[in-house]
Amino acid sequence: MMKFSAFRILKEGLPGNKGWTPHWRNPDPKPAYDAIIIGGGGHGLSTAYYLAKNHGFTNIAVLEKGWLGGGNIGRNTTIVRANYFLPGNSEFYSHSLKLWENLEQELNYNAMLSQRGILSLLHSDGQFYTAARRGNSMLIQGDDARLIHRDELREMVPYLDYEQSRFPIKGALFHPRGGTARHDAVAWGYARGADQRGVDLIQNCEVTGIDIENGKVTGVQTTRGTIKAPKVAIVVAGRSSQVAAMAGMRLPIETHVLQAFVTEGLKPIVDHVISFGMGHFYISQSDKGGLVFGGDLDFYASYAQRGNLPTVEEVMRAGMTLMPALGKAKVLRSWGGVMDMSADGSPVIDKTQTKGLFLNCGWCYGGFKAVPASGVATAHLMATGRHHQMADMYRLDRFQTGYRLMDEEASGSQHNLH
Amino acid sequence: MRIRCPLCGERDRREYYYQGDALALNRPDADTSDHEWDDYVHNRINPVGQTRDLWQHSGGCGAWLIVSRDTVSHEVFSVELAKARQEGTQ
Ligand SMILES: Cc1cc2nc3c(=O)[nH]c(=O)nc-3n(C[C@H](O)[C@H](O)[C@H](O)COP(=O)(O)OP(=O)(O)OC[C@H]3O[C@@H](n4cnc5c(N)ncnc54)[C@H](O)[C@@H]3O)c2cc1C
Ligand SMILES: [Zn+2]
């Protein structure tokens, strides 16, 4: 197996980079496995990796209907952070950020984690109070947070329009350990790590049915035939409702499109991740120089994987309000991904009524940062039958009992408002 | 996407507020089971393809509408007044 290092890059570079080999095999499905993971996105791949690494499950497969990393894992705006407030989310994302900080060593893969810091802008006294409360809860969780007032913020990010009439900027909540990572590399790193440990990554293999006998899962139907397994996990993000329906379930999920945008490459200007909540806008700059930004959902249930113009206009408008210089940049591309919006805005990692069938869904537009911890937690649940401590509250029955719903934004049980 | 309000005619999607699945109109009885309330408040079929959802013409006449449309192509098939449906006149 090929190990990456600076020396290796030199050695391969000299003969013209002709010696590199594929990072993973492309096997055909076997008739049976010890466990199957449906969905080769970030969460499916990390689940497979940790099942193999932490629990010794090596006779397992990831079934992906398209190609690895073609879903949301390759479409997101790559922000990682641990600035959640509610118990349940707080410890989970805190754990995930710690895993991010060691991910490249763990995977021997350059995930380009860049802890450039996240600034969440504040515009009023009231917002300062709530930000102080959130910041304190982050500190109690063991993460970092600092309130920044206008003068200091102005030195850090001088290019914002501080005097705009609608939302004059008064300060920010700073989360220094937050930042970005290279989304594709995360998928590829986990894929390579899982493959190395014997996991079969099977592409162009759509799951079309889930086989259940006497309340127990026995395998799946796919476009490449029947595959048997006593344990199956549904990890398909925006397609969760369809795959869960194959097992007779109806989920607290509605699928919505989220768009993002990138400009031509520019010289470094945006050194942090800036979140302008009041304008539903956020921006960072990729290492290639493109300004990467986005806003809200398109707001109605959709599987289109592309966006509509009203949201494009709204995002551009908010960007121009915040940072007028943005108007000089040319937008290179825009795209959309389908989000599994849960009714309380928080995810589910749980067993189901069907024995051996597990569910990982409801990541909304925040599931990239969750990829490492979600893999650890889902693998732990599949292998041991017990919930991992840091993901213990991601239960499906919270929607029925109403106990411990995790509505971070206190927006109520409407799927598109989170 | 454009939606034809039965009262105002065809208008841009921006004039409308999206509420969610039209099952919101079938509110269960207060003493029905937790399970049915869960289905009403949270659980959705969330179809790929034809769906029925509830929109309000908030930037127009204010009427609540039941819109039948496609979640992949965004084609709108039909629009009716929620009020008419609830009063059983349609
Ligand atoms: C524009 C945009 C910006 C975002 N920004 C951020 C951000 O800044 N920070 C953050 O934390 N999160 C962000 N997200 C959210 C994040 O990308 C998702 O929550 C996360 O990637 C979802 O998990 P996943 O990677 O497993 O999903 P996916 O990559 O979508 O994986 C699911 C896979 O399942 C496969 N599948 C579906 N049905 C079947 C089937 N029947 N059989 C086999 N395979 C199937 C799909 O093909 C897909 O590859 C963003 C999302 C978008 C779209
Ligand atoms: Zn009208």
Model pLDDT, residue A1: 65
User: Ligand 1: distance of its center to the CA of A65 in Å?
Assistant: 13
Give the closest of A253, A303, A401 to B71, CB-based: A303
d(CA A230, CA A216): 8
Query: Angle formed by the axes of helices A183-196 and A371-384, to 10°?
Result: 30
- Confidence category of residue A2, pLDDT binned at 50, 70, 90: confident
Share of chain A above pLDDT 70, in %: 100
**Min Cα–Cα distance to chain A from B73, Å:** 7
Going by the DSSP 8-state scheme, the letter that residue B86 receives in this structure is H
Q: What is the mean pLDDT of residues B17-21?
A: 96
Q: Of A118, A204, A227, A236, which is best to mutate to test ligand 1, by the most ligand atoms within 8 angstroms of its C-beta?
A: A236
Task: Report whether pLDDT(B89) > 60.
Answer: no
CA distance A86 to A346: 10
Contact A310 B14 (CB under 8 A): yes
In a mutational test of the B interface, the residue from A251, A254, A396 whose CB has the highest number of chain B CBs within 10 Å is A254
Torsion, CA A128, CA A134, CA A135, CA A139, rounded to 10: 160
Mean pLDDT, rounded, for A133-152: 97
% of chain A surpassing 90 pLDDT: 95
Answer yes or no: do B42 and A252 touch at CB < 8 A.
yes
- A68-115 tens-digit pLDDT: 999 999 999 999 999 999 999 999 999 999 999 999 999 999 999 999
Residue A322 pLDDT greater than 60, yes or no? yes
Chain B: residues touching A (Cβ < 8 Å) = 1, 12-14, 18-21, 34-35, 37-39, 41-48, 51, 53, 55, 71-74
Q: Residue B51: list chain A partners with CB under 8 A.
A: 301
Q: Whose CA is nearest to atom 48 of ligand 1?
A: A71
* Other CB atoms within 10 A of residue B11 CB: 16
| Global ipTM | 0.94
The tens digit of pLDDT for each residue in A181-215 reads 999 999 999 999 999 999 999 999 999 999 999 99
From the CA of B55, which ligand is nearest?
2
Tell me, yes or no, if A254 comes closer than 8 A to chain B by beta carbon: yes
Tokens of residue A335, six digits: 């795209």
Question: How close does chain B come to A305, measured CA to CA in Å?
Answer: 8
So what's the pLDDT on residue A217?
98
For the domain covering A6-79+183-251+344-417, report its CATH number: 3.50.50.60
- Residue with the two structure tokens 């479409």: A75
C-alpha neighbours within 13 Å on the C-beta side of residue A76: 29
- Measured in Å, residue A112 CA sits from the centre of ligand 1 at 19
For residue B15, the ligand closest to its alpha carbon is 2
Supply the pLDDT for residue B88: 65
Nearest to B46 among A253, A308, A399 (CB): A253
Find the closest chain A residue to B54 by CA distance: A300
User: Token pair for residue A202?
Assistant: 């099977």
Determine contact: A142 vs chain B, CB below 8 A: no
Q: Which atom of ligand 1 is nearest to the CA of A282?
A: 8
B83 CA to centre of own chain: 11
Q: Work out the mean pLDDT of chain B and round it to a whole number.
A: 94
Residue B7 clears pLDDT 70, i.e. is over it: yes
Is residue A119 packed enough to be buried (19+ CB in 10 Å), middle (13-18) or exposed (0-12)? buried
Among B42, B50, B73, which would you mutate to test the A interface (most chain A Cβ atoms within 10 Å of its Cβ)? B42
Domain ranges in chain B are 2-86
Q: Tell me whether residues B72 and A304 touch, CB distance under 8 A.
A: yes
> CA of A18 to nearest chain B CA: how many angstroms apart?
43
Question: What are the residue ranges spanned by the domains of chain A?
Answer: 6-79+183-251+344-417, 115-178+254-342
Report chain B residues whose CB lies below 8 A from the CB of A310. Answer: 12-14
Report the Cα–Cα distance between both ends of chain A, in Å, rounded. 43
3-state per-residue secondary structure call for chain A: CCCCCHHHHHHHHCCCCCCCCCCCCCCCCCCECCEEEECCCHHHHHHHHHHHHHHCCCCEEEECCCCCCCCHHHCCCCEECCCCCCCCHHHHHHHHHHHHHCHHHHHCCCCCCECCCEEEEECCHHHHHHHHHHHHHHHHCCCCCEEEEHHHHHHHCCCCCCCCCCCCCCEEEEECCCEECCHHHHHHHHHHHHHHCCCEEECCCCEEEEEEECCEEEEEEECCEEEECCCEEECCHHHHHHHHHCCCCCECEEEEEEEEEEEEECCCCCCCEEEEHHHCEEEEECCCCEEEEEEEEEEEECCCCCCCHHHHHHHHHHHHHHCHHHHHCCEEEEEEEEEEEECCCCCEEEECCCECEEEEECCCCCCCCCHHHHHHHHHHHHHHCCCCHHHCCCCCCHHHHCCCCCCCCCCCCCHHHC
Q: Kindly identify the ligand whose nearest atom is closest to the C-alpha of B9.
A: 2
Q: Which helix (H) or strand (E) holds B85?
A: helix B82-86
Task: Express each pLDDT in A266-283 by its tens digit.
Answer: 999 999 999 999 999 999
Angstrom distances, CA of residue A330 to CA of A292, A326, B77: 12, 9, 37
Query: Regarding beta strands A200-202 and A179-180, do their DSSP bridges make them parallel or antiparallel, or are they unpaired?
Result: unpaired
- H or E element, residue B84: helix B82-86
For A118-138, what is the mean pLDDT? Answer: 97
Query: Is A252 in contact with B34 (Cβ distance < 8 A)?
Result: no
Query: Is the pTM of the predicted complex or chain greater than 0.80?
Result: yes
In the structure, which protein residues have their CB atom closer than 6 angstroms to any atom of ligand 1? Answer: A 38-44, 63-66, 70-73, 75-79, 206-207, 235-239, 243, 258-260, 294, 337, 363, 365-369
Atom of ligand 1 nearest to the CA of A79: 8
* Closest ligand (CA of B57): 2
- For residues A404 and A241, the model is more confident at A241
What band does B90 get if pLDDT is binned at 50, 70 and 90? very low
Structure tokens at A328: 């000089």
Tell me if chain B has a CB within 8 Å of the CB of A250.
Answer: yes
What mean pLDDT do residues A149-169 have? 94
Cα B7 to ligand 2 centre (Å):
5
Residue of A nearest to B52 (CA): A301
Q: Tell me the fold of B2-86.
A: Folate-binding fold (3.30.2270)
Where residue B63 falls among pLDDT bands split at 50, 70, 90? very high
Distance CA A255, CA B45 (A): 10
A325-373 pLDDT, tens per residue? 999 999 999 999 999 999 999 999 999 999 999 999 999 999 999 999 9
On whether the A115-178+254-342 domain is CATH 3.30.930.10, my answer is: no
A371, A74 Cβ separation under 8 angstroms: no
Residue A162, both tokens: 């501080």
Which residues, other chains included, contact A339 with Cβ-Cβ below 8 Å and sequence gap of 6+?
A72, A237, A238, A255, A256, A257, A258, A297, A363, A364, A365
Q: What is the pLDDT of residues B23-61, one digit of tens each?
A: 999 999 999 999 999 999 999 999 999 999 999 999 999
The mean pLDDT value for A279-293 works out to 96
